[in-house]
A and B are shown apart, each in its own frame.
Chain A
Amino acid sequence: MKNILEIRNLRISFTIEKKPVEVVSDTSITIPEGKVIGVVGESGCGKTVTALSVMRLIPDPPGKITKGEIIFDGANLLELSESDMRSIRGNRISMIFQEPISSLNPVFPVGDQIGEALRTHLRVSKSEERERVIEMLKLVGIPAPEERLKNYPHELSGGMCQRVMIAMALICRPQLLIADEPTTALDVTIQAGILELINDLREKFGMSVLLITHDLGIIAEIADEVYIMYAGKVVEHSSVKGIFERSSHPYTKGLLNSIPDMRERKRALSAIPGNIPSPKDFPTACRFQNRCPYVIEECRINEPPLREIMPGHHTACFRAEEVGSGA
């Protein structure tokens, strides 16, 4: 299968108080065509920065991509000119954001904003634009689209706004959709609807999705493969089934243990002790060492490489086999 996007050995650093601080280290993520790839991690682990780097939206300064390649459909995005990049954004790669209400411009009606990408990239006529906006609003499940497109963002609910955002992102039929925590700001009942919508549209348009979230429940629902990130690095990568059935990194295990399980009643939820360290003071060698229940001497001396412990299942832990087999 062809890969629509390959992030290879990406390193991103930010200049904080005049010192460069690496927030994403040596990260590789591959997105096969037509698949949903999840990236999971705590706040501050570098997942949003990674996603923004694909769009080349990292504020520079202070941010900078110091190393690596981002290959989209055969071209390295990091080598494109700004104007070539602009013709890709919103057209071939689109992004939806966490806060739907603040992501819409308060002074324009939503129909106008959905049509904006069409006008920018494809130069369609007014009537065709209107037609396609209405069609798109229908696709994202907004009732009475002819009426809604005249509404301003403050007149719509959060769930509606997120549907409008999705319509905005998909109107040019992009090959890749980057969804940065698309449901975090929404009610649980609406979350499911939005996820279903993203999944439906993916099938309809044959696009790939990079889904960024901290919620493993969402991953279980729609992702095909998942990357777990911790402190700017990928620590585990496998199919969704592999992660849930045989998680073999202590961090992934910790995440899974912090989800309530309906089958077991009495068990108290366990939290991972400690906090994610700030990028300024990531420990050398394994970055999870200070919070890890499986830590051994070697974890403090050498950095565990990401290795294939089973076909298609990669883990960056010296004791991955033990962790995976239970205990």
Chain B
Amino acid sequence: MDRLALAGLIIIFTLFVVAVFDGFLAGNKPIVVRWNGGLYFPVLFRYNELEGVETVNLQQGSRKGDFALYPPLSYAPNESDLLTVLSPPSISHPFGTDDRGRDVLSRMIHGTRISLSIGFIAVGIAALIGILLGGLSGFYGGKVDFIVSRLFEIMMTFPVFFLILTILAFRDPSIYNIMIVIGATGWTGIARLVRGDFLKLRNYGFVEAAIALGGSDFRIMLRHMLPNALAPVLVAATFGIAGAILVESALSFLGFGVPPPTPSWGDVLSQSKRYVDFAWWLVLFPGGAIFLTVTSFNLVGEGFRNAIDPKIR
């Protein structure tokens, strides 16, 4: 695999780690607390015993051996501090704060999980619909193919972004609805790839042989044809994730995205609209993160494509 794709893969892996361990990196809950002889993990669970305990005061440790270990960045994504509104990057706020005094880095760390899960789940939905419809269309051909092909041609004539905006204007823009809408509008590319591959594979000897051995249609599609058609789907899905993350950011930027105060990169970026002339940190950091992530997924997709394309090798 080429070096750029590898770099992309490393960045994606890092983002995954950040997304999974967001609470350990930034937040106002301690990671570990030792209090009255018991060990507690407030990042992961809620403890009634710790109700009313000022864990902040335990940070330095105490006589009884009690202590609290906080994440390196001790601000919660939605914790606002009106004394530090719109402060530029400093040691305590490495990426600065927004107009409500919320820490930008913390919001971005917690937004990673939102952005990545929207990317993956939306593409998962798109791949499922695409494989199903494309597969049926390519396998049965004839009337089924005619109907399904027209369906995705109609789908493709819509400017997808405006379609999504329109749908979200009528529906409650929760994170699940955004995933479903992006997935339900993004399956045409995958469907076309699978249809093409299935049309080709349908005439292959081993498919005929599988029919001659008495396999059912479903079994033949799933076990014999799909594994042979999966490589291009993987490539398309990787590009699709980049696209979905971008669409989500754009939606949030326009105010149609995940509802506030849920942190997402697009949401942080949208805060910058009014202060763009001086609050450069509100533009640079979330914008850079979106750019880096989308580029990484595209590089990995490119790497996959080169790996499966015999003409380039």
Contact = CB atoms under 8 A, between A and B. Distances in A.
Bin chain A's interface residue count.
Answer: 20 to 34
Contact of B208 (A57, A107, A116, A117): A57
Contacts of B228: 105-107
Interface in B201-233: 204-206, 208-216, 219, 224, 227-228
B227 A94 contact: no
Interface residues of B, number: 17
Nearest to A99: B205
Given A105-B224, A107-B228, A120-B219, A90 B206 contact: no
B218 to A, nearest CB: 11
Interface string A82-117: 000011111100110101001111111000000011
A116 B205 contact: no
B142 interface: yes
A26 B209 CA distance: 27
A219 interface: no
Given A61-B142, A107-B227, A107-B228, A165 B212 contact: no
A108 B212 CA distance: 18
Interface centre among B142, B209, B227 (most CB of A within 10 A): B209
Interface centre among B205, B212, B219 (most CB of A within 10 A): B212
Contacts of A120: 213-215, 219
Contacts of A91: 214
Contact of A97 (B208, B214, B224): B208
A105 B210 contact: yes
A117 B216 CA distance: 11
B142 to A, nearest CB: 7
A197 to B, nearest CB: 18
Contacts, number: 62
Contacts of A121: 214
A261 to B, nearest CB: 35
A168 interface: yes
Interface string A51-72: 0000101000100000000000
Contacts of A103: 205-206, 208-209
Contacts of B224: 105
B215 A116 contact: yes
Given A86-B216, A105-B224, A106-B228, A97 B211 contact: no
A99 B203 CA distance: 13
Contact of B213 (A94, A99, A102): A94
B214 A168 contact: no
A105 B224 CA distance: 7
Nearest to B203: A59
Given A61-B142, A106-B228, A116 B206 contact: no
Nearest to B207: A105
Contacts of B206: 102-106
Contacts of B204: 102
Nearest to B227: A107
A83 to B, nearest CB: 8
A168 B208 contact: no
B216 A89 contact: no
Nearest to A153: B206
Contact of A90 (B142, B205, B214): B214
A107 B206 CA distance: 11
B233 to A, nearest CB: 14
A106 B201 CA distance: 12
Nearest to B228: A107
Nearest to B213: A90
A89 B214 contact: yes
Contacts of A97: 205, 208-209, 212
Contacts of B219: 120
Interface in B103-135: none
B209 to A, nearest CB: 4
B229 to A, nearest CB: 10
Nearest to A61: B142
A86 B217 CA distance: 10
A95 B208 CA distance: 10
A120 B142 CA distance: 28
User: Which 7 pairs between the two chains have the least Cβ-Cβ distance?
Assistant: A90-B213, A90-B214, A103-B205, A89-B214, A102-B205, A95-B212, A105-B206
